[in-house]
Amino acid sequence: MTDLLAEQDAARLALRCLDLTNLNDDCDDAAIRALAERAVTRFGSVSALCVWPRFARLARDLAAPDVKIATVVVFPSGEATDEEAMEETRAALFEGADEIDMVIPYRDLMEGRDASVRSRVERVKRSAGEAPVKAILETGVLASARMMRRAADAAIEGGADFLKTSTGKVPVNATLSAAEILLTAISTADRPVGFKAAGGIRTTAEAWAYLEMADRIVGEGWASPQTFRFGASGLLDSLIATLNGAAPVTAAEGY
């Protein structure tokens, strides 16, 4: 796919799969209002707004009815007790969150305690009820393919609804190489599991590369807002530019 129409198709899908995000330390009510306004475009709405828990209620009040509210739990460190993670989850849902993005205790996994990841996901999932839980693996810190796969498998065993690459708060966030590992784990799972690429994805070409990878590994047409998300604050402008007829570019290559 190299022509404008094909790239616009990718941009249209990526927009529908976008969790428009503001997890900046200086986020305030005005920033949430601006985020909610950007979430609805003439090409359709993004999938969700991803915000700090303290802004979940405001985001819910401001968001269009078809835009979900996602919020983060034990973020960004993942360092908390299971009970604390469960309480944060319950509080976020009370404040109006529809989806929970939780950081796994990835440092425990790095020390060989994979069961800690399973336990954390199980308990947050139990507290979340019907709300989807996205397990943030922090792949840029895990670094090795073997450790990423262990994290993915433990999160799936714990009941995660999505595997998410990153918090966006470390030097290395979403990469195609990490996405390949997570998507491969998803493709072999015994139940449906979604995927979220988060952190540093800014252009239509980059988004396109992730969508093409999902087609290749999990199956053509698999990616949808129910199964695939981008966590990004800077991607929307590029998608809109593409949909407005900006010249096509070659999809990102390499891992």
Query: Catalytic residue at 125?
Result: no
The count of C-alpha atoms lying within 13 angstroms of the C-alpha of 112, restricted to the half-sphere facing its C-beta, is 0
CA distance to 14, 47, 87, 92, per residue, from 197 (Å) = 11, 14, 26, 22
Cis peptide before 76, with omega less than 30 degrees from 0? yes
Of 101, 108, 114, 161, the active-site residue reads 101
Of 68, 125, 134, 164, the active-site residue reads 164
CA-atom Rg of the chain in angstroms: 17
The values of phi and psi at residue 154, to 5°, are -65, -40
- In whole angstroms, what is the distance from residue 185 CA to residue 142 CA? 16
Q: Residue 168 burial (CB < 10 Å; 0-12/13-18/19+)?
A: buried
Query: Catalytic residue at 82?
Result: no
H/E stretch holding 18: strand 18-22
Nearest to 132 by CA among 38, 235, 212, 225: 225
Answer for the pair 204, 239: CB distance below 8 angstroms, yes or no. yes
CA–CA–CA angle 167, 173, 174 (5° rounding):
105
Annotated catalytic sites, by residue?
101, 164, 196
